[in-house]
Structure formats: structure tokens, C-alpha cells
Structure 1
């Protein structure tokens, strides 16, 4: 994967936080987002090195995707939501990470550090195989000047560390636990996070480290009130396998073999489709998914089919300075929508409102809403020549590489129905399900990343996007991984 510039990351933030006509206010996390937190654990006994995570949130569109190795970049498996922004994951060297929200914003030390030109966690996961390497990256680079989050890294050698805004806490007891507070600024006898206390107590009493024990810890600290533990994963860092659980059901497990999945190239699964029907999860998600479908139906144009959408597919040049030379945005088509895939593998689904105008729906605050619009510009022969992303009062134009077929004339949309059709929420089935058998351990020796391909330097285009977008990212993280009040 080519090195991604800071500008590309901020462009993605712009897509996530651009104001739209129908956008709702973000919720006040102290009032209506009280238990959106995450728990991350790690343990090693010399034979096993295991990491684990509970993802506690309210967005039902959970995803898992696989990015194969490329020159200069390790491959990996990542977990998150419908915008494919990784909330956690493991690379093919046995390094895993997860991020946790804090309840305060803290200035970081920038003395003697270089400003990173890309998302630092992405850089670490693509170039590092050990916690030592990850720590070195954070000691060398900074990305933004303040944090209200922290990171957890663990590796196959038995090392783990919590990267706080102003401190690095290394694991010393064979295990480590992190939730949503800074351990460096609080006395142990003053800690009141029930998830942290429960997990720590279980590790202190542990007889034998195993996958089953890690599962029991995650089950003990899951949440199922206004927020639910949407998925849990246990990373077997030596064997490069992931034990995956859905919607705090710890009886049904899917085992992902990373080597097997990476051999299939880039692909993704709707996470619920990997598991048997979960009636509790379906009931919990039904109202939000119904609203999601209603938003689509309210603006979806009639008379545009899959064949029409093929006219827009292809590669579009990233604006100069926004990404590494040669990086492109790729547009692909499904039956009723287009998918925009950025060079960093983040994806955004857009639906047609007319023959040239499209809209994107994403999770915002407590529910789905319209977040940004896009339009395709045609030449006199009705061939697509560019894609324009409408980000509030700003626009970003991406020129198509090569001209495709003419865009067909589309009949005017029919009047909306007097009653809203009842949507179907049957999850899409994956083309294949990861193996549930435990295979032989992969070679434990860490290997260097594939040979780096030299890239010419590029300018920074990030000044074109308001600095306020970073504040938007911070607000989103505050909603994503909030310290529970319980």
C-alpha cells in the first residue's frame, strides 16, 4: 500500500463530518451516550500471546475486511463499521491494536518530533511487527496536537503497551487491561471503572491462559443496556488467527485464519452474515436499519438500474497533493448504488438521486442520516469526465482516468409511494466463511516489511479543508468509545 498523505486522511474526515441539509446534531455523550466504551485486554505466558477487544457502540453496520500485503506494507485484518475506518485489527506479523476514547482532551508533547504525513496507526500497522516499533513511531512522530483517545498495542513476542497522550505504559505482569481512562494520572485505589476492575481481578486469579479464558473475560465486561457489545475478538498473535463473536453471544464463534483470508486478496464481510441468526441483535437493530432504508427510499431515483450505474465505474485521479502519486479513487457498481473506495481502503456507498447526483448515508450521533452529496460531471457526449464531492460549502473534484460509455438518458422519477414499503434486512451472505478449524501455527520469527517502493514527495493539500474537521473527528470519537457510567 502506498504511503498515504495527511491530506487524504483529512479528506476522509471531511466526508464523515461535512454538514448536510438533513444532518442531526451530534448527541451529548454525557447525557444520551453514557455507556459507549470499549475494553481491551492482552496476556502472554511464553507459549500464547493473546489480545482481545469488546466493541461497544450503536451502529449495526459492522464489518470485517482484509488488506493484502503490498511493497512496503504488511497485510492485515481490520474491524469497524460501514465507512471501513479501522477501529482495531491485526497485521500479518502478529501485531494488534485498538483505540479507546478518553473523557478529556490532552495536549501531547511535540518536542523533537516530526509531524506525520499520514494516519499514524495505519503507518504502524503497515510497517511494524512489534510493540517496540510502534512505541518508537509514537516517540518519533506526532499527528495532531491534542488527543482525547489512547492506543493499545500487543505483539506475538509477549509485549504490550498503552500509548496515552503524555505517557507510555508498558506491560509488566504478563497481562494488561485498558478501558477509557488514563492509568498514568490516577492511583490504583481510586480506579472505579467496573470493566477495568473486573478484568484485572480475573487476570490476577488466572490459573491457565487460554482462548477460553480470554473469552470469559470479554463476556464478563460486555455491555447490553442502551449500548451493546456489537462484536468481540480474540487475537491469537502467534498463530495469526482471530476468534470472533457477535453481539455478546459467546457460544458461537467464527475463527478467521489470516493467512488464508489474505490469499484471497482484498475483500470484506458483513459481520452479522458470518453467524447464525441472532434474534436479539436483529430486534435491537431493526429500528435503525428501517430508518436507514427509509432515508434511501426518500431520495432514491426511479429508473436507474445496475447497467446504468456501470457508466460511472472506473478510476478517478486524487487531487494533486492529496495522496501519493498514482493513487486513485475507484468507483464500482452494485444493483442500486455505487461504492467509492479511497486509496486507504475506506469506502463510502452513494445512491442515485438523479442521473448525475448521488447521496451518502452514514451513522451520525444516534442514528443514520445524510452526510454528503456527490455529482458526476458529463461532457457534451454524455461521458463521465469527473466526480465532485460536495463537502458542505467546499467541493473536491476528481478527474476520471479515461472516458467510459455514454450515460443513458433517465426517465423522470415516479412520484413517491403514498406508503413506505417495508424493507427487508436480510444480511448479504459472504462468498465464503472463514475456517472454524485451528490450523498449525505460523512461523514465529518476525519478518521485515516488503521492499519499500520509492515514492516522489508530494505537497500537502490539507489546508483546503477547514481545521474544524479535526474537531469533528474528536467529537465522533467521543461518541464512539465513551467511558461507561455504571
Structure 2
């Protein structure tokens, strides 16, 4: 149970692109073509893709990320692209006085058409992630952004990649291979970029979960799952945005793969993902009722069911918030200031999450910190749905014994209580 909770609570204190363990990202403008491409390497499968149509305040976009709905990479309707690679910058050693109170690249994605416009926003703030991001546009411009500043492209291409440890050994050939390939070529094409991705993909414990090639001029994205470059999911972004907002599992766009399924089934989030898939087929309410009934039986085979149900409830809240904010991540989860702004709306997913949180909050649990965390989440979904009385009651429960609460539960709980007293 404790191992599961570590997964549930990962990244609560602040947003960190550190979760992207290793990636190979590059862009190139040559011969009138402009492409950007990436291998996304990580330990957590179940990649999500979500489409965010144009609103009064934001440009339309498509985002890729993990189940936590953090944006790992994205492209907007004007061909502005970004992608992150983990780095080792020690933020604590830098004097950062003007930090953006949220996810800066999300602001850039929604407000900027090109790199020039993006730089105007980025220079206003101190970049406070230990990662490095490559930002490219359809005009052929690109920059690298890290806590120490902005690096503009020199020449026709730019590479954003890192060295990572695999079985105790550093793997640094990936950026070298990209540089060698791009330096030796005269023209660029889809097949050429696919070949580079194939040469730099990873397998084993830190595999390439998915790969993308973005034709920035035409607004087309070619996606490959789990380093299989023979099957492609093609996205015409403008056409897809016309279909409206939606979240999808990336794997649903590809034929069944033994390698991907074997990797996924061995992951600790597999039980949660299986329940979510079952909800699509059998319906949300009936699926939740079934698993709550199974949980009450306390059978040996159900020993990890409560952890999976908690993760399902959190995922439903993340989905709901993502749609409510036109693609944004759950600011409250990451303790961003905007997350404390009390917004009220109704959503069936919140009601479903509330049912699970309520059940888990009433169930006997020797882990008091986890119990108080569940109280906090139950208070939160009631708050968002307008029941301030119940919200106040459960937030008070979550912070009543500080030594028995997670630090983030105390921080968030006290902040919310100060706003609803």
C-alpha cells in the first residue's frame, strides 16, 4: 500500500518536468521544410493525448503527457512546438525572484504563434524547472530554455537531449547521433527523421514510450508507439481540433503490441488503468459500484484494490479539471496559486470521484497520513461542487493532527480553510 501511495502523491509539492527521465528532441529547417521530432523515454506508460480547441483566450493545441495530465510535449494550431528533456540544474542555487505562478510553457502554448512572441513572455520570468525545453516554430526558429537562460539556434538545427544512467552506466550517444545525422544530411523528410528516432530510441527499463515527428508548416504530427516505427497515427491538427475537446489513450490508436502490453501489465498503475478502461465499456457508475463492493469483501486478491480506486478517483478529478480549463493541468494538485482560487462547476466525473473518496474516507485505515489525504480530497470535490459545509468539515479533519498529515495536505488544507471560513 505504501508503495502505491508514493505513486499517487508524486509531484504534489510543485510541478516538475523531472518526471521525464530522458528524451531525444530536435528540430531542423532545411530546404523549405521545418520539422521537430522527439523520442519520449520514461518508466510510466498509459500516455494521454488531449485536444484543446481554440477559445476566446487561447489558441488551439494538442498535448501529450502521462496520466497525471502534465504536458510533456505539445503543438498549437500555428505550428509552435515544445518538448522537455530532464536536466540537472540545481534551482536552489539560482537567485530566482520572478517565478511564473503556474506552468509557463502552457501560457506560451496558448498565447504565442511563434518563437519571437514566446521569448517576449519567457523573458519576463525566471524559468524554475530543472529541465530544458526546446521551443520551435514553423518559420524555422528554435530556442532552448533552461534555468540559466535562453540558447538560440545557430545553423539549421538544434538538439535537446540528455545523458542518463542505465544500469549504472551513462548513455550519452543519443545527442551525438542526432548531431551526426543532421550535420551529414542535405535534405530532411519524414523518413529521415524517423530513421534518427529509430537510431536513438531506448529499450529496457527506461524505454521510448512514444515518438513524434511534427511537420510544423503543415500542422501534421506523426506518432509512433513504444519504439515501433512501422505503425503510425497521423494527426492533422486543424481537422482534429474541429472535432472538439477530448482526452484519449494514445495506445488506442495502434494495433495490439505484445511488447507494449507486456511492459504495461507489469506497471504499478495497470490496475487503475484497467478499471478506467472497464468504465468506458460498462459505464462509470456500474463499474465503480462493482469495485466498491469488491473492496468491502476484503479478499486476498483485492489487497491493492483500494489503492487503485484512490488513483481512479484522482484521475477522474484530473480529467474533469483538464476539460474545465481547456486542457490545463490540475493546479491545486501541484500547489500552484491558481489552484487555490475556488471555482465551482458540476461534472459527473466529480460526482463519481466523490463516491470513491467518501467510501475510502469511511473505511478503517491504519495509515493516518493517507486517511487525512483522503479527507482532503473528499473536501476538495465537495468544494468544487459548491458544498462548502462538507468541504470545511473534511478539510478541518485533514489538518486536525498535523503530525499525522502529509506536508502538502497541511499546506493546501490551511490555505483552503482560510478562504472558506
For 2:156 and 2:137, the matched residues in 1 are separated by 12
Instruction: Assess if the C-alpha contact under 8 Å between 2:20 and 2:85 holds in 1.
Output: no
CA shift in 2, pair 1:239/1:295, >3 Å: closer
CA shift in 2, pair 1:233/1:370, >3 Å: farther
The count of residues paired between Structure 1 and Structure 2 equals 333
Confirm whether residue 231 of structure 1 aligns to residue 210 of structure 2. Answer: yes
Q: What does residue 259 of structure 2 align with?
A: 280
Higher helix content, 1 or 2: 2
Q: What does residue 220 of structure 1 align with?
A: 199
Q: What does residue 153 of structure 2 align with?
A: 171
Q: What does residue 53 of structure 2 align with?
A: 68
Q: The residue matched to 1:78 in structure 2 has which SS?
A: strand
Confirm whether residue 47 of structure 1 aligns to residue 32 of structure 2. Answer: yes
Instruction: Assess if the C-alpha contact under 8 Å between 1:357 and 1:376 holds in 2.
Output: no
- Ranges in structure 2 where 5+ consecutive residues have no aligned partner: 11-17, 164-169, 277-287, 296-312, 325-330, 364-369, 401-409, 414-421
Bigger relative contact order, structure 1 or 2 (CA pairs below 8 A, ≥6 apart): 1
Instruction: Assess if the C-alpha contact under 8 Å between 1:20 and 1:372 holds in 2.
Output: no
Higher strand content, 1 or 2: 1
Instruction: Assess if the C-alpha contact under 8 Å between 1:52 and 1:214 holds in 2.
Output: yes
For 1:391 and 1:149, the matched residues in 2 are separated by 36
Q: What does residue 126 of structure 2 align with?
A: 142
Pick the aligned partner of 1:81 from 60, 66, 79.
Answer: 66
1:308-351, CA deviations, whole angstroms, 9 ceiling, x for partnerless residues? x9xx9x999x99x74698954553349xx836xxxxxxxxxx77
Instruction: Assess if the C-alpha contact under 8 Å between 1:372 and 1:391 holds in 2.
Output: no
Q: What does residue 345 of structure 1 align with?
A: none
Confirm whether residue 57 of structure 1 aligns to residue 42 of structure 2. Answer: yes
Q: The residue matched to 2:232 in structure 1 has which SS?
A: strand
- Ranges in structure 1 where 5+ consecutive residues have no aligned partner: 1-18, 28-32, 182-190, 340-349, 360-368, 396-462, 467-486
For 1:205 and 1:378, the matched residues in 2 are separated by 55
Q: Could you tell me the TM-score, scaled by structure 1's length?
A: 0.58
Q: What does residue 387 of structure 2 align with?
A: 385
Instruction: Assess if the C-alpha contact under 8 Å between 1:67 and 1:266 holds in 2.
Output: yes
| CA RMSD, 1 decimal | 4.6
Instruction: Assess if the C-alpha contact under 8 Å between 1:42 and 1:175 holds in 2.
Output: yes
Q: Could you tell me the TM-score, scaled by structure 2's length?
A: 0.66
For 2:82 and 2:42, the matched residues in 1 are separated by 18
Q: What does residue 331 of structure 1 align with?
A: 347
CA shift in 2, pair 1:286/1:90, >3 Å: same
Instruction: Assess if the C-alpha contact under 8 Å between 1:356 and 1:375 holds in 2.
Output: no
